[in-house]
Structure 1
Amino acid sequence: MPKARILIVDDEESTRELFAELLQRWGYDVDQTADGHGALKLAAETHPDVIISDLVMPKLDGLALVRALREEQPDTPVVIITGKGTIDAAVEAVREGVFDFVEKPLDPARLKVILQRALEKKETLHEMQVLRRRLGQVDAGVGLVGNSPPMRKAMELVEKVAPSKASVVITGQSGTGKEMVARAIHQLSPRRDKPFIAINCSAIPASLIESEMFGHERGAFTGADQRRLGAWELADGGTLFLDEIGEIPIELQAKFLRVIEEERLRRLGGKSEIAVDVRVISATNRDLKEEIKSQRFREDLYFRLNVFHINLAPFKERRDDIPVLVQHFIDRFSRDAGKKLHGLSPPAMKLLCDYGWPGNIRELRNTLERAVILCGTGMIEPEHLPSELAGGGGESAYVKLPYGLPLREIEKEYILATLHRLQNNKARTDDDEGETVAS
């Protein structure tokens, strides 16, 4: 594995040499330059993994360098060196997208940890780029962005099943991205240039589902004043995605099974059979085996649909994906809105990481779309996020108390509420910013 390359930018030669000696001792390849203009040139030539730059320099200072690098090499983490009197400027640099900062005099242990984290971030971004290329430029949207073990497994299964015609059942909680996984399978398959028809079975009244799925001839029933093609015919040659498959009435399931097995259907009111070539992908948040036991779902249809199974883990098991998903959604929504945003501030990111996300990725997506709308420029801050996020796992950040309660009782209730919330968040009290508990 090649060594990581670090670029040091500082107008003081003694500082550059100090950093270079330390980094080389840790096994890094090191390049040096005395100013921001030289840094831009070297970065274009050597493509460093991390850049360490002084904040105060002549000609092109550290903040201007960060802004220029954001345009040229947005995935390269930048660590700023700060001295006394420049902390406020360093905080501003973090808002501009700097990964972190180290203070003078240098603390080697802190620098080592920061570099390891920066390199991990760079590696994660690189792996995501590779996965996106492997996934054939699939529009990730909801559900196909992430680097956690559950998401890696789901992506691998998508790649394996996509080239075949096998029926697929996708399971997972509401909001985990089942439709986007179905779209990814379609886009990676030989059917990618043919239709992808998505039907939400739970949204169609039982009296209309047969017509919606199989179509009808003119005069087939009252109100059928013209021929109508059903979803199966519309998907001919492509993929039919049946979301909430468990909602199909039991009396219609035999007809679904017949069309899947024989690849032929008859419209309502029709006399002739029509050949259809359709790949069926189904999704459900129900336990279909339990539905079979309760005689609400046919076992033969289940086995015909469930040739290949992909389960999507709930978001609480994919918390490592939060930073990557956050950046993906911010990039997407800010691009759609014509805004230039630089991500989230550390306090805002902490709120997102601590929250329980009962609505899974769909809730995260909606939260960030709202935040991008509210944020003008710069970084998304806590005030751009819904108030309930301050309570961690979906609880309110406010403590409701009766009017006229004595001060001692108010303190007691506040302490108990704080400890309860922190316990739910699985966080230590001293890690909770801005809250203290007096002994």
Structure 2
Amino acid sequence: MNRTLLIVDDNEDIRQQLKWGLSSEPYQLVFAQDVADALEKFRQASPQVVTLDLGLPPRTEDASQGFACLEELRKRAPASKIIVITGFESREYARRAVDMGAYDFFLKPIDLDELKVMVRRAFHLYDIEQESTSPKPVVGRKATPAGIVGESEQMREVMENVSKVAASDVPVLIQGESGTGKELIARAIHELSPRKAGPMVCINCGAVPENLIESEFFGHERGAFTGAVSTVRGKVEYADKGLLFLDEIGELPTNLQVKLLRFLQEMVFQRVGGRKNLEVNVRVVAATNIDIQEAMRAGTFREDLFYRIGVVTLKLPPLRERGQDVLLLAEHFLRKHGEGLGVKNKTFSKDALDALVRHSWPGNVRELENSVRRAVVMSTSSSITSADFGFEPVFAGDSVSAIPTVTTLKEARSMVEKQLVEAALSRSGGNIVKAAETLGISRPTFYDLLRKHGIDQ
């Protein structure tokens, strides 16, 4: 991608300073000195990132020219990231600019190292948004089925394994926490398989009342029980020549586990109240969020059934371990729900992006989608802030973060350590020296912490 940075500033000395200081950066530099010049250069160059001095001529106390330029640039290309630079003493101008849709703000005097970091992050976010708004979601920049979004190494490995198992009829067990997207993975297996023209039928084993679950699976004959006024086909029959997805199979009652095992061995069954053997041809994919090994030790899940359904096991990583996938998914859901709710051109503010990265996401992708949807509804400006997500805050000095979900003291310490490092990095604008000084540690130690917690500079 050809990257272009438009610098709008009426001060010739500052333009020369930035031209010299940013000359080694991997993008083309374009300069403008007033509103008309900025709009024309913007039209010609289509920059992904803009630095905009609010004090454009003719100068006024309310920076009207700068705000007018910002408003027009946002109208012409809402996806472009605009970093407002202001020399005004009050931060009110910066806050107002962010409310109008500016990506971030920078107060003069300009620190080139800090500005470089901010511009790099703006380009990075622009790239993420463009990938998430492409016609098909991507994993490793390759088209993926079932609407799966992700670029982390964990998801690359999952999708590679999906491609391997899809071509055969081998039973697959998908394991992962609630909300990690197990049904999406099952759907991806189906869409990539030779059975894709057939149906995919889902049964939530934990949602059907125990006295009805056998009928849900295998159907029933008329008169089989009180209220059975007609013959009803079960989900197994509807899945013939397709895929049967057994969600939350760990919740299946033990007595039905025996009948399911018998069915899986022969692909033959009888409806409840019936005597005729019926035969189907289905592929079975199951999923669970419980520890199956522990369930087998406890006697609540049959070992022979596990070995039947778990010929291949796929493990989905929780969202908190997927790194920058959080931002990629957030942008995907912002576009999806923004369009669905009739709200266009909303973006995430810097503090919103920080909150997304800091949150531990105990509900995983499902929680993230609901949080973004809430934020779209609750946001009253073009820029979504962290407050719009509705996270419960934890106050630590001048920082606010989402409450982490931890189970051990070691995990809690690691979480707090990571938050302190991220907060120091954010306050320093990415300046490692300043961030290390803030925490009272050396630069080598700070770099060690970045590597330990997988934090990108």
TM-score bracket, normalised by the shorter chain, equals 0.7 to 0.9
Residues 171-230 of structure 1: CA deviation (Å, up to 9, x unaligned)? 112222222332333344444454332211012222221110111121223321111111
Is 1:54 aligned with 2:18?
no
Q: Distance in 1 between matches of 2:120 and 2:23?
A: 14
Aligned partner of 1:213 in structure 2 is: 217
Match of 1:107 among 98, 111, 126: 111
**2:341 paired residue number:** 337
Structure 2 letter corresponding to 1:279: R
Unaligned runs of 5+ in 2: 59-63, 396-400, 406-411, 428-457
Residue pair 1:128, 1:146 contacting (<8 A) in 2 also: no
User: How many angstroms apart in 1 are the aligned matches of 2:237 and 2:93?
Assistant: 62
3-state DSSP class of the match of 1:366? helix
- 1:124-139 aligned at under 5 Å gives the runs 124-128=128-132, 132=137, 134-136=142-144, 138-139=146-147
Q: How does 1:245-264 map to 2 (within 5 A)?
A: 245-264=249-268
Among candidates 411, 416, 422, match of residue 425 of structure 1 = 416
- CA apart distance, 1:284: 0.7
**1:116 maps to which residue?**
120
Alignment of 1:85-234 (within 5 A): 87-128=91-132, 132=137, 134-136=142-144, 138-139=146-147, 144-234=148-238
Equivalence for 1:316: 320
- Counterpart residue type for residue 232 of structure 1: V
Corresponding residue for residue 274 of structure 1: 278
The superposition leaves residues 150-189 of structure 1 with CA deviations (integer Å, 9 ceiling, x where unpaired) of 3333344334434443322111122222223323333444
In 2, Cα distance between the equivalents of 1:61 and 1:137?
A: 47
Contact kept, 8 Å, 2:337 with 2:373, in 1: the verdict is: yes
CA apart distance, 1:315:
3.0
Aligned pairs, how many? 405
Contact 1:132 1:138 in 2 (8 A): no
Distance 1:371 1:121, change over 3 A: closer
Q: What does residue range 274-293 of structure 1 map to in structure 2 within 5 Å?
A: 274-293=278-297
SS of residue paired to 1:267: coil
Q: 1:266 is aligned with what amino acid?
A: Q
Q: Is residue 171–residue 284 contact of structure 1 (8 Å, CA) maintained in 2?
A: yes
The one-character-per-residue Cα deviations of 1:113-135 (angstroms, maximum 9, x if unpaired) are 11222233234345546771544
How far residue 342 of structure 1 moved from its aligned partner, in angstroms, is: 2.5
Counterpart residue number, 1:400: none
Alignment check: 8 A CA contact 1:90 1:101 kept: yes
Q: Tell which deviates more after alignment, 297-306 or 258-267.
A: 258-267
SS at match of 1:242: strand
* 2:5 is aligned with 1:18: no
Q: Residue in 2 aligned with 1:361?
A: 365
**Shift in alpha-carbon separation, 1:241–1:428, aligned structure 2, 3 A:** same
> After alignment, is 346-355 or 221-230 more displaced?
346-355
Identity %: 39
CA distance in 1, matches of 2:318, 2:77: 33
**Which position in structure 2 is the counterpart of 1:415?**
none
User: Could you tell me whether the CA contact under 8 Å between 1:351 and 1:389 is conserved in 2?
Assistant: no
1:81 correspondence with 2:85: yes
2:34–2:56 CA contact under 8 A, matched in 1 = yes
Q: Pick closer, same or farther for the CA change 1:54–1:387 going to 2, 3 Å.
A: closer
Whole-angstrom distance in 2 between the partners of 1:231 and 1:430: 49
Change in CA separation of 1:210 and 1:151 when aligned onto 2, cut-off 3 Å: same
Name the aligned partner's letter for residue 281 of structure 2. D
For 2:30 and 2:211, locate their aligned partners in 1 and report how far apart those are by CA, in whole Å. 71
Which SS does the other structure have where 1:79 is aligned? strand
CA distance in 2, matches of 1:200, 1:236: 18
Amino acid at match of 2:18: F
Aligned to 1:417: none
Matched letter for residue 25 of structure 1: S
1:245 CA displacement: 0.7
What is residue 5 of structure 1 aligned with on the other side? 4
SS at match of 1:281: strand
In the TM superposition, residue 370 of structure 1 has moved relative to its aligned partner by 3.1
TM superposition shift of 1:288:
1.8
Q: Which runs of 5+ in 1 are unaligned?
A: 397-420, 435-439
Question: Is 196-205 or 261-270 further displaced after alignment?
Answer: 261-270
SS in 1 for 2:101: coil
Change (3 A) 1:254 1:423: closer
Output the CA distance in 2 between the equivalents of 1:114 and 1:125: 17
Task: Give the secondary structure class of the aligned counterpart of 1:81.
Answer: strand
Separation in structure 2 between the aligned mates of residue 184 and residue 65 of structure 1, nearest angstrom: 46
Q: Decide whether aligned partners of structure 1 residues 78 and 374 sit closer, same or farther in structure 2, where only a CA change above 3 A counts.
A: closer
Q: Secondary structure of 2:232's partner? A: coil
Decide whether aligned partners of structure 1 residues 37 and 382 sit closer, same or farther in structure 2, where only a CA change above 3 A counts. Answer: same
Shift in alpha-carbon separation, 1:85–1:340, aligned structure 2, 3 A: farther
Match of 1:410 in 2: none
Whether the aligned pair in 1 keeps the contact of 2:391 and 2:402 (CA below 8 Å) is: no
Could you tell me which residue of structure 1 aligns to residue 28 of structure 2? 29
Q: Which amino acid aligns with 2:296?
A: I
Q: Check the 8 A contact 1:102/1:110 in 2, yes or no.
A: no
Q: 1:23/1:231 Cα in 2 relative to 1: closer, same or farther (>3 Å)?
A: same
CA shift digits 1:218-258 (9 cap, x unpaired): 12233211111111122223322211111222332243234
